[in-house]
Amino acid sequence: MKTTFWLPAVLCIILFLVLLIWLIVRNIRKPVPYNLSLSQHPGDTIFVSVASYRDELCPSTLQNLFERAAAPQHIYVGLCLQNAKGDAACPADGLCINGTCYADHVRTHSMKHTQAKGPAYARYHCAQLYRGERFFLQIDSHMEFVQDWDAKILRQWRAAPVPAGSAGAVLTHYPPADMTDEVRQGKVTTHICNGKFEPDGMVSFLSTQHGTKPLPMRTYFLAGGFLFGPGTLVAAVPYDPHLLYLFWGEEVLLAARLWTSGYDIFSPSEAVCSHVYERFDKPNVFTDTTSGGRERTMHKEQDRVHRRVKQLLGWEPQDGKHREMDKYGMGSRRPLAQFLAESKIDVQKKTVGSHCG
């Protein structure tokens, strides 16, 4: 009789312990790949890619990024830090705002400045730190943000007039050069709407500044220093690790890859940050490489990479000398020829048409 009474109780305890163990194991924090499902993070989490090369403004940029966010708890940073001995630590002072610290929201890939190979290479390493956040923002390490910048860019993203079947909107531009009252008050923006061929055969883009617009403005061009879109683009258009020492050419290649992958590109209707452009007296990877006696190696890599970019864009026939061309090539949602036609990039005439009207 006693055995009959205790048996159900013992079974219940065993089932409870099994369930408890299962729940604990299920929720153990495990390393995750950079293309993790977006369901990992609830809410409007934003992954911010920051490539920093010996930048004294990097600490203030990260501090400002969190300090002026409407929801700093939803901001996560992937930082590629390329410093020399004695350069400013980034982030600094625990990254604390009003008693709450966000240093654990910064994932860092560090390398010596002598191992750096240009902005595109650094952004590849930033992207590897992505952990499934719902949105992706790429910036430079010398920027200043307006108050509630995250809420404002999310509002614009949701208002972008994307066509049916689009993979999503991408908002991008060259932010205003200074944090003026106009920028703080949300009265100004810039529109990337023109471009030109550089002497090396690469394309660079140009922008115009004007008052804010009711909706984001359609374009085919983008800026590497400010790019916002859904987190899906990290896996759909993975960063190419083979673009060593590339400067001009990074943006036109990424624009073509995003567009052919189904993403639609817009300039923001309102600027949410400013950018420090005049940095000629500051260290950069190109001058450091030259002064370090590695100029010949850099130029050889640049020549190779320029050929890679032209072949990926279909401007030259592929010669079979470049790695992973399919993985880091065009998307399959739209044809490359259509992108070149609509963007008015004429390879034969070496002209880029305007979309500023």
SS (H, E, C) the chain: CHHHHHHHHHHHHHHHHHHHHHHHHHCCCCCCCCCCCHHHCCCCCEEEEEEEECCCCHHHHHHHHHHCCCCHHHEEEEEEEEECCCCCCCCCHHHEECCEECHHHEEEEEEEHHHCCCHHHHHHHHHCCCCCCCEEEEEECCEEECCCHHHHHHHHHHHCCCCCCCCEEEEECCCCCCCCHHHHCCCEEEEEEEEEECCCCCEEEEEEEEECCCCCEEECCCECCEEEEECHHHHHCCCCCCCCCCECEHHHHHHHHHHHCCEEEEECCCCCEEECCCCCCCCCHHHHHHHCCCHHHHHHHHHHHHHHHHHHCCCCCCCCCCCCCCCCCCCCCCCHHHHHHHHCEECCCCEECCCCC
Mean pLDDT of 284-313: 90
Among 86-100, 207-221, 235-249, the minimum mean pLDDT is found in 86-100
Among 11-15, 171-175, 209-213, 266-270, the minimum mean pLDDT is found in 11-15
- Per-residue pLDDT at 57 exceeds 70: yes
Percent of the chain with pLDDT over 90: 78
pLDDT digits (tens, 9 = 90+) for 263-290: 999 999 999 999 998 777 788 888 888 8
Query: CATH classification of 41-275, choosing from 3.90.550.10, 3.30.70.260, 3.30.1360.170, 2.60.120.260?
Result: 3.90.550.10
pLDDT band at 295 (very low <50, low <70, confident <90, very high): confident
Phi first, then psi: give them for residue 39, nearest 5 degrees: -70, -5
Give the model's pLDDT for residue 283: 83
Q: What is the model's pTM? A: 0.86
Please give the mean pLDDT across all residues of the chain.
89
Among 29-38, 210-219, 243-252, 295-304, the minimum mean pLDDT is found in 29-38
- Per-residue pLDDT at 23 exceeds 50: no
Give the model's pLDDT for residue 279: 72
- Per-residue pLDDT at 297 exceeds 70: yes
Mean pLDDT of 181-186: 95
Give the model's pLDDT for residue 42: 57
pLDDT digits (tens, 9 = 90+) for 32-42: 333 333 344 45
Give the model's pLDDT for residue 54: 95
- Per-residue pLDDT at 187 exceeds 90: yes
